[in-house]
Structure 1
Amino acid sequence: MLSWGSDRRALLARRVVVLLALSLHPFIAVGQRVEGVVVDAHGRGVGNAEVYLREGNRMVALTNERGEFSFQAEGRDSVCFDVQALGFFGESRCVLPGSSEVPVRVTLRDRLIAIEGVGVRGQTSPHVTMQRLDIANLLSLQAAGSGVESLVKLMPGVHSNNELSTQYSVRGGAYDENLVYVDGIEVLRPQLARSGSQEGMPIINPDMVSVIEFSSGGFPANFGDRLSSVLNVRYRTPRKFRAKVDLSLMENRACIEGASSDKRLSGILGVRYKSTRLLLNTTETKGDYHPSYFDVQAKGRMEFNPDCELSALLGFSRNVYFFKPHNKVTRFGALTADFLQMNVYYEGQERDTYMTMFGTVQTRWRATPRLTLRGQLGGYWVREEEKFDILGEYWLSELRGVEEVRPVVDSASNVGIGGFLEHARNRFEGAVATVKGNMDYQFSLGNVEVGLELSPRYFYHVANEWNLMDSAGYAVPRALREVPVQGLARGAGGFPSMLYSMYAQTQLRFPSAAGILTLVVGIRGSGVGQWRDLRVSPRVSASFVPESAKDLRLYVGGGLYYQYPFYREIRDRAGGIHPDVHPQRSIHALGGAQWGFQAGGRPFRLQAEVYAKWGAQLVPYVIDNVRLRYEAQNAAKSQTYGMDLRLNGELAPGVESWVSLSVMRSRMRITDKLREANRQPAADTYFYAPHDQLFGASLLLQDYLPGVPGFRVALQASYALGIPLVLPNGRYGQQSRMPSYKRVDIGFSYAFKDENYSLPRLSRAQWLKSLMVSAEVLNLLNFANTVSYMWIKVTNAQGRSSSLAVPNYLTSRCVNIRFVMSI
């Protein structure tokens, strides 16, 4: 018994010693914990940077999205490690014993100076077909559209002929072919809007944005299914307290953010209110405009430890457009003929409502230094209502000479007289839920990413609209109580669907004596309903940076892309729903080069890209203002070829300027019989696609006034040739051209205090970060841009009637005052 007890006490003592040693292991064996952050030359965190311990050359950490890292080092001597990241020169650091409590800050130098040194940080994005835009340029955009979409419109290959709308066409594609993400959740566009004023406020809050990535084609497999482009926006994760107020005559914004002392809990809140009444009052249609757009969004983040975090984003917006028209005067014509003037007098009103709610919860867990897991649950809900009854009576008069303007009551000058009645009671309600997860594994040559997504969708609509045009020889009753109407659309019903997708993608980097070759190879599978309907989309891109010319980057890319219909693609012009519409398909192929150079001691970059797109199983459509009217059947194919050029750099230190040029030709061909035979093309051949635009150019110039610190001038200009024009219910292929779109905006701003300059009186106010006042002149040269046409019938002296297109013009010159302050 004594021997057994002694052995038991000895065993117990040994266990106590082992447990004590294990408890003291971090102090006597591990040595020290090293924490730090990796940033670029501009102070931004560098994600996915690899940290290698010099002893043994083994990777011990991988930076998160903010560039932070931490690892445990054994021993009590100094710890030396190397940091490597794609697109940067490597750096080495040594941490002395006893100094590990202070976070190590590692600044990486850009490997491609010109590519990384200007506003569009193409090299920061890991994919060659994705470009990262500088959010600092959002402050320079004029208030007609000072959001992220306005910055995208200035990119090469992107076309828009409406400053009131946030929609855009990319390389000949439709508005619905553009994919938009906000913190990983897909954003729905307005479905019923027929003019830019009805769209309301864009969903992206520019004050909350930290990263903007855009691709005009050939985007990788980890992004969803659209035919033309992808815009990926991520909101900021605050690290300290900050508040900002942006006030103007058109839009008011406020944003506040902060974080706890240990940076583990943070949040940001943005509120916006916008009214385009000042702009709408410059249009030719006079009346009572009462647009009211309100939006609030909030994001919170909780970090459990450096390897695990949870974040949530919530948003709500309500957009109301009320309009009571009074009268309209339009003068139009050509220099070789007499000018015409149409006077319209209105009765009635219009009230449109557009509401959205969305939310997402996502988590990130870094299981190992190489393996990261992410999950997300989100939802998006939208409700739209369109109600109007507008009665108009018009007089069409002839103007002979500049000085001679005859009254409309003079029968000698009257060309036509008539009236119209427009009626609509349309409603749309849609909901999209998203459940997705992905896994990212890093290894020596690159990474592998795998993801899965399920997205149940549902919409319900009520369509009830028609219009009546009454003029001589136009509206003739077919029966005693039957008057023919035009544009009749009636229908109601809902449609549920389940969209699933999965993808696998790898990025490989091969350095050699000749240069650095980067490959991105991915495959995406997607479908609706049953698994046997799975469609496979391979996508690939490659880039090469020669060792002998490190400021030159050559790249190619391409892939197969599908787009699944939602609402507008399966609704015909009569209001009927056709669920049997198949996904549209497109093949992308592109190649280009980026060349960085120095001029005047400042960095510049020239980018040239050629591309081709082949579309199949397309749904034909025509454009009416910003409204797309589809045929709701897969009955077309297309061919698109073009070239984009872009030169950007710093004409003045710290501010970016650029010029973009685009040349494109897009053609479409009807491959099947249309339901409406009167819209079938007269010949089975190619014709210009609805968004064909041979040439487009955009310009953004920013400079400081010499001798006046803090005074900046920003000039923004756009020019684009007109898109094809088709008669209402006319045949495809019977086209003319709309006039070209021209617009110049200029802004003058004075910064009383910012990060580079401060008035002496404000230098002591440490709480004030920036204070700026600006004056903006929109449509400086007062161009009369045509956005759509009103079609009327006129009868001549011989009794023959013909159709006449009366242009609807966009906004005229307008002045806006802006005040921006941040603390």
Structure 2
Amino acid sequence: MNTNIKLLTLLFFLVGFTGFSQTAKLQGIILDENSAPVNGVNVTAGINTTKTDENGFYVISIPANEKVTAVFTHAVLKKNTVTVTLKPYEIYELNIVMNDKAESLGEVTVTANNRKRVEGITTLEPATIRRIPGANAGVENLLKSLPGVSSNNELSTAYSVRGGNYDENLVYVNEIEVYRPFLIRSGQQEGLSFTNTDMVQNVDFSAGGFQAKYGDKLSSVLDITYRTPTKFGLAAEASFLGGSIAVDAVSKDQKWTALTGVRYRDNSLLVNSQETQTNFRPTFADLQSNITFAPSARWQFSFLGNISQNRYNYEPLTRETKFGTIDEPIALLVNYEGQEKDKYETYFGAFKTVFKVNDNFTLKFIGSAYHTLEQEYFDIFASYGLGDVDTSIGGETRGAVTFNRAIGTQLNHARNDLDAVIVNAEVKGFHNVKNHQIEWGFKYTREDIRDRIVEWEVIDSAGFSLNPPRGFPINDQPYTPYTGPLVPYQNVRAKNFVTINRFSGYAQWSLKDHIGSSQVWYNAGVRMHQWQVSGDNINGKSQVVFSPRAQFAIKPEWGKDMVFRLSGGLYYQPPFYRELRDSLGTVNPDVKAQAAVHIVLSNDYSFKMWNRPFKMVTEAYYKSLTDVNPYTLENVRIRYAANNNAKAFAQGLDFRLNGEFVPGTESWISFGYMKTEENINDRGYIARPTDQRLKFGVLFQDFMPRIPSVKLYLNLVYNTGLPGGSPSYADPYVYQSRLKDYRRADVGFSYVFTEKNDIRPEGHWLKKFKDLSLGFEIFNLFDNQNAITNTWVRDVYTKNQYGIPNYLTTRVFNVKLNVRL
């Protein structure tokens, strides 16, 4: 323990506090009074200069974290002057209207994140996302270090927010909703997140109390924007876990752009570190492209496409897990035969067009189609033994299994297939009327799901087959002869052809105003959602819900820069297909929408410490849930009861302090307290599967003072234990034990070859690179044994069921090369 503390202390204080320069970008379109693009405008910012092209477009680099004056001059039109302050790597769009009558000489300070600040949105920097180490690095890896966001599985991109489950989070890319696979039951099977980190320009996240323009989920919104290239560029990465490459391309007339990324991942390095010995090589690959066409300054078209393929071939061999107590240690020994072959293929395409009718009215149309083909095939035979562990001191057999108290076998079989197509068509409008902003939208969604489930489990303990836990007499052999039928312990067989038609819409109003000398912001809106489920022998009723939401923020005219925000409303989550299907595969078409009343009170305090910018955000929240659809959680697979027979609540406090602990780099400390419980059929409140009481996270970036080219990145997470879960067929009131606390530290060291490019002479070979770095990563630095869920093993002699932890990855080393042109 002392060694671990010393090592962690060394990592924090190994490096010093000397800054290094970072940049941001300013870009936009210059128009004249007639809204025509202006060619040849000189743009000067600091020591950099550029000119607008025939489309009025410009892009210029500026220093980050300092005031920079941008000057726009033209041979005929009057000069414009704007002062901007941007974050590192931020790309801010600044469009200017120039005329020949009056100069704009006044200073205008652009604060890019003011709107997000009053809306309660957390912005994550793409550069930070790329740098921070993690077994499944990406946007979700960084989210898990935020307060209120929990995940006890480093192999999964799934996360829960403030007591919600994995299905309660909205994810948008370029305003287009994206979906998760249906059949995946383990983090090992997930592979790649939809979001390609190399293509990201902006990441916004809201953990609750979000506006009406966002869709119908109960917990959170992740809003991602891909960048629009301005010139040729290339980003590549290679490591022991796979590789990726992303290419930016721009046509000569700047009207066409294409951003294309290819990724490949092999999780063998991670899964082979687990306790189950396997012949296992899961591979995941995808191709993603974002193409834009701007025929004029007012009209833009874009296409986002994605093809991904995940193959999961799994052949377990042996497993040995020791658990129990110090006084009575127990070991589970398992020998396996058989294999699992899973395949997940998804095809996604979305078309979007944006038409700026005038300076105050913008129209958008979005159409998308998502097609997933999933199969889950396995036949795995396991012979297991529960044994006592020798604890004698100094004995030759210390730690070995000396007595098998139970012997049994288990055969699992599945032939599950799913074919789903989801089509969306949406129209959005944005109006700017003086200080008022009005937004509205209408959306049609059609979901066609073809699902076949053939899944059974046979359990034999000491030579006697066990009957199902419900509906059959107890098989009490060898003490009592049993003459009943021999049937599987679990047997699920179903074939469902389901269609869901949905109509939804929203309207919201926003206003920035003053009360005395204090600035205030108002937002109010409402969503409507109507849906109906139909299919073979299925005829659900039409259901409609309305979701009013509001936000109020005030910035008092104090000496301290503080914003107070109150937000909330009534949030509904109309059921998706998985929420309609119970543990036996039966679809209930009349499942109601789960409802939640959100109340979020927050304080956002910006200040300077050590003459560097910092921010402290504190949020208190309460959610009251009704018509709750109970579920069980097994790794990342959710099985719903497909009814609305529960009520629940979630309450908590989130705290985050972020800023430049080291000059020029962003780090943060986060803390969260949360309690969520549910009451099923008025039997009393018990912990929900996501009841994560305490959360502590640290994200830290630094560099060596004498070798500034060596960077350090630390990602540290501590979560208290989740409920251990229960089998889908069991009574959750009986299974209320908790897993051990989740503790994980991932650290990365990177040598940046291009660190001194600004002082290198022209023609130097490293000048061709924006970034060239070689990194070394250690996942699970302190080799903690973290568990995601329990395997339930039955002892025929004592009639007990033992919850045996399923441990995650151990300490793993990785080497990574990054190249950016």
Shorter-chain TM-score: which interval? 0.7 to 0.9
Residue 725 of structure 1 aligns to which amino acid in structure 2? G
Residue 91 of structure 1 aligns to which amino acid in structure 2? E
Of 272-281 and 617-626, the range deviating more from structure 2: 617-626
Corresponding residue SS for 1:691? coil
Residue 415 of structure 2 aligns to which amino acid in structure 1? R
Q: Which residue in 2 is equivalent to 1:603?
A: 613
- After superposition, the C-alpha distances for 1:33-85 in whole angstroms (9 at most, x for unaligned) are 875769997679x9xx9x9xxx9xxxxxxxxx962535463x5x6x4237xxx
CA distance in 1, matches of 2:303, 2:519: 38
Kindly state the Cα deviation for residue 517 of structure 1 after the two structures are TM-superposed: 0.2
The count of aligned residue pairs is 732
Q: Which residue in 2 is equivalent to 1:174?
A: 165
Q: Which residue in 1 is equivalent to 2:506?
A: 503
CA distance in 2, matches of 1:647, 1:303: 40
Residue 359 of structure 1 aligns to which amino acid in structure 2? G
Q: Which residue in 2 is equivalent to 1:86?
A: none
- After superposition, the C-alpha distances for 1:421-453 in whole angstroms (9 at most, x for unaligned) are 111111112111111111111122131111111
Alignment partner for residue 361 of structure 1, among 344, 347, 351? Answer: 351
CA distance in 2, matches of 1:710, 1:601: 24
Corresponding residue SS for 2:794? strand
Q: Quick check: 1:326–1:347 contact (8 Å CA) kept in 2? A: yes
CA distance in 2, matches of 1:684, 1:270: 51
Q: Which residue in 1 is equivalent to 2:107?
A: 91
Q: Quick check: 1:40–1:109 contact (8 Å CA) kept in 2? A: no
Alignment partner for residue 612 of structure 1, among 615, 622, 635? Answer: 622
Q: Note if 1:326 corresponds to 2:324.
A: no
Q: Quick check: 2:725–2:790 contact (8 Å CA) kept in 1? A: no
Alignment partner for residue 69 of structure 1, among 68, 73, 95? Answer: 95
Kindly state the Cα deviation for residue 684 of structure 1 after the two structures are TM-superposed: 2.2
- After superposition, the C-alpha distances for 1:300-331 in whole angstroms (9 at most, x for unaligned) are 11111111111111110000000111111111
CA distance in 2, matches of 1:32, 1:263: 14
Q: Quick check: 1:241–1:258 contact (8 Å CA) kept in 2? A: yes
Alignment partner for residue 389 of structure 2, among 391, 394, 399? Answer: 399
Q: Which residue in 1 is equivalent to 2:379?
A: 389
Q: Note if 1:453 corresponds to 2:435.
A: no
Q: Quick check: 2:417–2:451 contact (8 Å CA) kept in 1? A: yes
Kindly state the Cα deviation for residue 234 of structure 1 after the two structures are TM-superposed: 1.3
Q: Aligned in 2, Cα 1:509/1:483: closer, same or farther, shift over 3 Å?
A: same
Alignment partner for residue 571 of structure 2, among 558, 561, 586? Answer: 561
Q: Aligned in 2, Cα 1:487/1:407: closer, same or farther, shift over 3 Å?
A: farther
Q: Quick check: 1:41–1:109 contact (8 Å CA) kept in 2? A: no
Q: Which residue in 1 is equivalent to 2:745?
A: 744
Corresponding residue SS for 2:230? coil
Corresponding residue SS for 1:201? coil
Q: Which residue in 1 is equivalent to 2:411?
A: 421
Q: Quick check: 1:750–1:774 contact (8 Å CA) kept in 2? A: yes
Of 686-695 and 165-174, the range deviating more from structure 2: 686-695
CA distance in 1, matches of 2:273, 2:756: 37
Q: Which residue in 1 is equivalent to 2:799?
A: 801
- After superposition, the C-alpha distances for 1:477-510 in whole angstroms (9 at most, x for unaligned) are 7787943322321101211011111111111000
Q: Which residue in 2 is equivalent to 1:81?
A: 104
Instruction: Among all aligned residue pairs of Structure 1 and Structure 2, give the percentage whose two residues are the same amino acid.
Output: 33
Alignment partner for residue 581 of structure 1, among 587, 591, 600? Answer: 591
Residue pairs, 1:88-167, within 5 angstroms: 91=107, 108-110=109-111, 121=113, 123=114, 125=116, 128-167=119-158
CA distance in 2, matches of 1:768, 1:547: 46
Q: Aligned in 2, Cα 1:141/1:32: closer, same or farther, shift over 3 Å?
A: closer
Q: Which has the larger radius of gyration?
A: 1
Q: Quick check: 2:134–2:746 contact (8 Å CA) kept in 1? A: no
Q: Aligned in 2, Cα 1:130/1:408: closer, same or farther, shift over 3 Å?
A: closer
Of 641-650 and 570-579, the range deviating more from structure 2: 570-579
Q: Note if 1:594 corresponds to 2:600.
A: no
Q: Which residue in 2 is equivalent to 1:435?
A: 425
Q: Aligned in 2, Cα 1:638/1:757: closer, same or farther, shift over 3 Å?
A: farther
Residue 719 of structure 2 aligns to which amino acid in structure 1? A
- After superposition, the C-alpha distances for 1:615-637 in whole angstroms (9 at most, x for unaligned) are 11110111111111211111111
Which blocks of at least 5 consecutive residues in structure 1 are unaligned? 1-25, 56-64, 83-89, 93-107, 111-115, 672-682
CA distance in 2, matches of 1:322, 1:768: 39
Of 775-784 and 691-700, the range deviating more from structure 2: 691-700
Q: Which residue in 1 is equivalent to 2:710?
A: 711
CA distance in 2, matches of 1:524, 1:804: 47
CA distance in 1, matches of 2:640, 2:386: 32
Corresponding residue SS for 1:548? coil
Q: Note if 1:262 corresponds to 2:253.
A: yes
CA distance in 2, matches of 1:32, 1:750: 44
Kindly state the Cα deviation for residue 726 of structure 1 after the two structures are TM-superposed: 4.3
Residue 638 of structure 2 aligns to which amino acid in structure 1? L
Q: Which residue in 2 is equivalent to 1:545?
A: 555
Q: Which residue in 1 is equivalent to 2:219?
A: 228
Q: Aligned in 2, Cα 1:378/1:214: closer, same or farther, shift over 3 Å?
A: same
Q: Quick check: 2:390–2:398 contact (8 Å CA) kept in 1? A: no
Q: Which residue in 2 is equivalent to 1:292?
A: 283
- After superposition, the C-alpha distances for 1:115-150 in whole angstroms (9 at most, x for unaligned) are x7xxxx5x3527513222111111222141211111
Corresponding residue SS for 1:766? helix
Kindly state the Cα deviation for residue 212 of structure 1 after the two structures are TM-superposed: 0.8
Residue pairs, 1:508-527, within 5 angstroms: 508-511=511-514, 513-527=516-530
CA distance in 2, matches of 1:405, 1:588: 60
Q: Quick check: 1:710–1:757 contact (8 Å CA) kept in 2? A: no
Residue 81 of structure 1 aligns to which amino acid in structure 2? S
- After superposition, the C-alpha distances for 1:197-232 in whole angstroms (9 at most, x for unaligned) are 112211111111111111110110111100111111
Q: Which residue in 2 is equivalent to 1:488?
A: 491
Residue 712 of structure 2 aligns to which amino acid in structure 1? V
Q: Which residue in 1 is equivalent to 2:792?
A: 791
Q: Quick check: 2:284–2:309 contact (8 Å CA) kept in 1? A: yes
- After superposition, the C-alpha distances for 1:653-702 in whole angstroms (9 at most, x for unaligned) are 2211111111011110113xxxxxxxxxxx72111122111111111111
CA distance in 2, matches of 1:163, 1:315: 24
Residue 498 of structure 2 aligns to which amino acid in structure 1? F
Q: Aligned in 2, Cα 1:637/1:344: closer, same or farther, shift over 3 Å?
A: same
CA distance in 2, matches of 1:554, 1:400: 60
Alignment partner for residue 305 of structure 1, among 296, 305, 311? Answer: 296
Q: Quick check: 1:752–1:759 contact (8 Å CA) kept in 2? A: no
Q: Note if 1:662 corresponds to 2:672.
A: yes
Q: Aligned in 2, Cα 1:466/1:805: closer, same or farther, shift over 3 Å?
A: same
RMSD of the TM alignment (CA)? 3.0
Q: Quick check: 1:185–1:434 contact (8 Å CA) kept in 2? A: no
Kindly state the Cα deviation for residue 646 of structure 1 after the two structures are TM-superposed: 0.4
Corresponding residue SS for 1:207? helix
Of 456-465 and 529-538, the range deviating more from structure 2: 529-538
Alignment partner for residue 627 of structure 1, among 624, 629, 637? Answer: 637
Q: Note if 1:693 corresponds to 2:684.
A: no
CA distance in 2, matches of 1:529, 1:747: 50
Kindly state the Cα deviation for residue 185 of structure 1 after the two structures are TM-superposed: 2.0
Q: Quick check: 2:130–2:138 contact (8 Å CA) kept in 1? A: no
Kindly state the Cα deviation for residue 406 of structure 1 after the two structures are TM-superposed: 4.3
Q: Aligned in 2, Cα 1:36/1:43: closer, same or farther, shift over 3 Å?
A: farther
Kindly state the Cα deviation for residue 750 of structure 1 after the two structures are TM-superposed: 0.8
Residue 280 of structure 1 aligns to which amino acid in structure 2? V
Q: Quick check: 2:130–2:198 contact (8 Å CA) kept in 1? A: no
Residue 215 of structure 1 aligns to which amino acid in structure 2? S
Q: Note if 1:196 corresponds to 2:195.
A: no
Kindly state the Cα deviation for residue 404 of structure 1 after the two structures are TM-superposed: 4.5
Q: Aligned in 2, Cα 1:544/1:567: closer, same or farther, shift over 3 Å?
A: same
Q: Quick check: 2:235–2:247 contact (8 Å CA) kept in 1? A: yes
CA distance in 2, matches of 1:31, 1:816: 50
Q: Which residue in 1 is equivalent to 2:235?
A: 244
CA distance in 1, matches of 2:506, 2:33: 45
Residue 747 of structure 1 aligns to which amino acid in structure 2? G
Q: Which residue in 2 is equivalent to 1:722?
A: 721
CA distance in 1, matches of 2:246, 2:744: 31
Kindly state the Cα deviation for residue 790 of structure 1 after the two structures are TM-superposed: 1.7
Which blocks of at least 5 consecutive residues in structure 2 are unaligned? 1-31, 42-55, 78-90, 468-474, 476-481, 534-540
Q: Aligned in 2, Cα 1:255/1:133: closer, same or farther, shift over 3 Å?
A: same
